[in-house]
Amino acid sequence: MQVPEVRYATTEDDVRIAYQVFGEGPPVVYVGPFFNHLEVQWEQPVIARVFERLAPYLRVILIENRGTGLSDRIEGIPTLEERTTDIEAVVDAVGIERFSLIGMFAGGQMCIDFAARHPDAVERLVLANARVGRALQAEADALKPDAPGELAYGTEYEQKMIETARHLGSELTEDDLSALAAHSPSAFNHPEYVQWLPRFERMWGDREMIRRQAASIAPLEASDIAPTVQAPTLLTHTADNGIIHVGYGRLLNQLIPNSTLLEFEGRDQHYWLAPNWREIIDAHLRFIGQSEIEVPVDRRFAVVVFTDIVGSTESSMSAGDVRWRELLDIHDTVAQRVVGRNSGTMVKLTGDGVLAIFESPSNALQAATELERELRAVGIPIRAGLHAGEIELRGDDVSGSVVNLAARVMESAADGEVATTASMRDLMLGSAFEFESIGSRTLRGFNGEWHLYRVGLP
């Protein structure tokens, strides 16, 4: 999809707001994060795919908030009312009178305020991982009492953003990576996204602007406004969100009269990174467009690798919760590194294992055997199963018989074994890999017997 042209609208207080228009269908104004750059965000496939998913069904007006990216810089700390005029200016410039709104994160507060002020203009309202403000923090925390952590909204999050502004745009520090793991852990399934983040940050603006944006988030308050919203409202929230925890979504559901809350599995605040991103976006599309959404299926050849930790249930009980969590963190770090360096794609970390795909059979075999060896060296025994063929890609997830068969091969593998089917062995004829027959097996869900082989590093 071609990057849309950047246009500008001017607010009543003479601030130019950058925006883009793309897609076909009912109009929707999309208010994203306060730290952004309209053009640069299209460079990243995990962000662009969200817009590409919306485009066939909606005419999207994508707003860049004041003070960041291509919009004018801000003086002082803008109020919620001043920020809401950004939406007013853009819809006037586009020439639409009735439309829906999608508000993400703090952008949700802008959309709540606009919907309350302009009830005749707003058809439907979608709030994704949104919040109201700090006034009702205690009520939100009570709705998810185990959620708040040191990075949670309402604790020290905004202050940490202000403090870290001094090095934003440079190489990510260990603290940065830890924070990313806390609020959007699926980012590490996309190494290219993590590598790209410093460039994205450099395009937001200078350090003083970032400090002002961070400082402006804390005072935004929509708790008194939310009960006056008349538009039908859909709330979507990741259930284990570590920044804006789901208690805020539940609170909004109580405050907004005509609202529905959908809680989605996952921890990601930046839900476009999540394995179930399409499920979340499709919920938005169905709510706004009131129509059935096609689920595209892409079929392609791949080698599927499944692994799991041998005796994980017993190991977790004997190790204890803290040590087991440490072992899982080591496992995940090693797995991501090994899959990445062998040109694979990490589909998901399964809790005690890995699902990854590879274009090259030799890369898949190399990754599986290296992973078994490196994890065994740190006291984490695994087993692995591989199979090759056409798989179905649905967003970030994969499915099909090839995937299921690889999982069954793994189930048949012995402790510390990398097992594969005869078809994988045939693909590697003439290679230096060693294939030792382990006999025929009956695989759950598949007819007949399958001859399996144990794989060794060349």
For residues 358 and 272, state if they share a domain: no
3-state class (DSSP) for residue 73: coil
Sign of the alpha-carbon torsion through 69, 72, 73, 75:
negative
- Whether the per-residue pLDDT at 458 is higher than 70: the answer is no
For residues 279 and 352, state if they share a domain: no
- The answer to whether residue 2 is domain-embedded is no
Full residue range of the structural domain in which residue 408 is found: 298-456
Inter-residue contact 77 to 212 (CB < 8 Å):
yes
Residues 6 or more apart whose Cβ sits within 8 Å of residue 172? 180, 194, 197, 198
- The answer to whether residue 338 is domain-embedded is yes
Range 98-107 average pLDDT = 93
C-alpha 257/C-alpha 183 separation (Å) is: 29
Range 276-293 average pLDDT = 85
Phi and psi, residue 301, nearest 5° = -75, 140
pLDDT (0 to 100) of residue 179: 74
- Calculate what percentage of the chain has a pLDDT beyond 70: 90
For residues 280 and 248, state if they share a domain: yes
* DSSP, residue by residue, 236-270: EEETT-SSS-HHHHHHHHHHSTTEEEEEES---SS
Range from 39-43, 155-159, 252-256, 302-306 carrying the lowest mean pLDDT: 155-159
Question: Is residue 90 very low, low, confident or very high in pLDDT (cuts 50, 70, 90)?
Answer: very high
For residues 356 and 373, state if they share a domain: yes
pLDDT (0 to 100) of residue 214: 75
Name the one residue in this structure whose structure tokens are 């890609």: 393
C-alpha 361/C-alpha 373 separation (Å) is: 18
* Gyration radius (Cα) of the chain, Å: 24
Question: Is residue 456 very low, low, confident or very high in pLDDT (cuts 50, 70, 90)?
Answer: confident
Range from 42-46, 152-156, 261-265, 358-362 carrying the lowest mean pLDDT: 152-156
Integer CA distances (angstroms), 45 to 52, 69, 169, 205, in order: 10, 19, 20, 22
Question: Is residue 284 very low, low, confident or very high in pLDDT (cuts 50, 70, 90)?
Answer: very high
Chosen domain end from 289, 314, 339: 289
Cα–Cα–Cα angle for 61, 26, 40, rounded to 5 degrees: 25
pLDDT (0 to 100) of residue 418: 95
Q: Is the entire prediction scored with pTM above 0.75?
A: no
Chosen domain end from 228, 262, 289: 289
Range 329-356 average pLDDT = 91
Question: Is residue 15 very low, low, confident or very high in pLDDT (cuts 50, 70, 90)?
Answer: very high
- The answer to whether residue 268 is domain-embedded is yes
C-alpha 388/C-alpha 338 separation (Å) is: 19
Average pLDDT, the chain: 87
For residues 201 and 245, state if they share a domain: yes
Q: Is 376 exposed, middle or buried (0-12, 13-18, 19+ CB in 10 A)?
A: middle
Range from 36-40, 152-156, 254-258 carrying the lowest mean pLDDT: 152-156
- Whether the per-residue pLDDT at 154 is higher than 60: the answer is no
Range 352-356 average pLDDT = 92
- The answer to whether residue 1 is domain-embedded is no
The pLDDT tens digits of the residues spanning 198-247 come to: 888 888 877 777 777 777 777 788 889 999 999 999 999 999 887 888 99
- Whether the per-residue pLDDT at 299 is higher than 50: the answer is yes
For residues 257 and 313, state if they share a domain: no
The pLDDT tens digits of the residues spanning 166-206 come to: 556 567 777 777 777 777 888 888 888 888 888 888 888 77
For residues 365 and 249, state if they share a domain: no
The pLDDT tens digits of the residues spanning 363-419 come to: 999 999 999 999 999 989 999 999 999 998 876 788 889 999 999 999 999 999 999
pLDDT (0 to 100) of residue 324: 77
For residues 392 and 280, state if they share a domain: no
For residues 261 and 371, state if they share a domain: no
C-alpha 143/C-alpha 140 separation (Å) is: 5
pLDDT (0 to 100) of residue 151: 43
For residues 74 and 56, state if they share a domain: yes
pLDDT (0 to 100) of residue 185: 86
Question: Is residue 144 very low, low, confident or very high in pLDDT (cuts 50, 70, 90)?
Answer: confident
Chosen domain end from 252, 267, 289: 289
Which region, left, alpha or beta, applies to residue 85 given φ > 0 means left and ψ of -120 to 50 means alpha?
alpha
For residues 226 and 370, state if they share a domain: no
Phi and psi, residue 381, nearest 5° = -75, 135
CB atoms within 10 A of CB 447: 7
* CA within 13 Å, CB half, 34: 29
For residues 283 and 316, state if they share a domain: no
- The answer to whether residue 317 is domain-embedded is yes
